Chain A
Amino acid sequence: DSGVTQTPKHLITATGQRVTLRCSPRSGDLSVYWYQQSLDQGLQFLIQYYNGEERAKGNILERFSAQQFPDLHSELNLSSLELGDSALYFCASSTTGEQYFGPGTRLTVT
């Protein structure tokens, strides 16, 4: 158990819909990262927050957004969903460098 929690574990929704994925980092970790894992793209960095502020952006679509709240939990919002957004979404947290990953949310868009 990494100490990072993600909810929900599975999510099935239709094209065009909007969903919110939630992540709670390990106690004391200020950085939260979001990654997408898909069969064709592999593991891709999406976005990083540090203590509530956006720190870096990767291959994140404009339809996707994230935020980190004062209690340090983070949410990833995915809107206007397309079939190609079906993937595993991981959250990771860190303090000193090494990142610890949550169990992931499997999103299926039908």
Chain B
Amino acid sequence: GEDVEQSLFLSVREGDSSVINCTYTDSSSTYLYWYKQEPGAGLQLLTYIFSNMDMKQDQRLTVLLNKKDKHLSLRIADTQTGDSAIYFCAETPGSSNTGKLIFGQGTTLQVKP
């Protein structure tokens, strides 16, 4: 089946690292994505990882993929108040052959000054 799960809320202090976790069910997923949504705004593509990779780093963002456990995480280093938003994990199911995205429920990140 196609299902993506995320915890709903994370609160951190400014300057700390944030780790947002995601699990998915489709073992044939090809790409896995992280999107950011600020209040009243659209979805901003933050980063993505291909399923044959374990890790991807992009400035303050580190994505870790554990394909065996179907677990994806997004680490934000030196979290800032501007990082406060909802973060969505999404997968492209390998079985779909269309590129449609299956999204998790979103994790609200609250950054306290």
Which positions in A face B, CB cutoff 8 Å? Answer: 2, 31, 33, 35, 42-45, 48, 55-56, 58, 90, 92, 94, 97-104
Which positions in B face A, CB cutoff 8 Å? Answer: 30-31, 33, 35, 41-45, 48, 88, 90, 92, 96, 98-106
Verify A97–B92 contact, CB threshold 8 A.
Answer: yes
Could you tell me the distance between the alpha carbons of A69 and B24 in the complex, rounded to whole angstroms? 35
* B96 contact set on A, CB distance < 8 A: 56
A47 to chain B, nearest CB (A): 9
* B88 contact set on A, CB distance < 8 A: 43
**How many A-B residue contacts, CB cutoff 8 Å?**
59
* A94 contact set on B, CB distance < 8 A: 99
* A33 contact set on B, CB distance < 8 A: 99-101
Can you give 7 contacting A-B residue pairs, CB < 8 Å? Answer: A42-B103, A42-B104, A45-B102, A48-B99, A92-B43, A97-B99, A103-B42
Verify A97–B105 contact, CB threshold 8 A.
Answer: no
Assuming the contacts A2-B42, A90-B42, asked whether A99 and B101 have C-beta atoms less than 8 A apart, the reply is yes
B102 to chain A, nearest CB (A): 7
Could you tell me the distance between the alpha carbons of A44 and B102 in the complex, rounded to whole angstroms? 7
Assuming the contacts A33-B100, A48-B100, asked whether A90 and B43 have C-beta atoms less than 8 A apart, the reply is yes
Verify A100–B45 contact, CB threshold 8 A.
Answer: yes
Could you tell me the distance between the alpha carbons of A92 and B100 in the complex, rounded to whole angstroms? 10
Could you tell me the distance between the alpha carbons of A99 and B41 in the complex, rounded to whole angstroms? 16
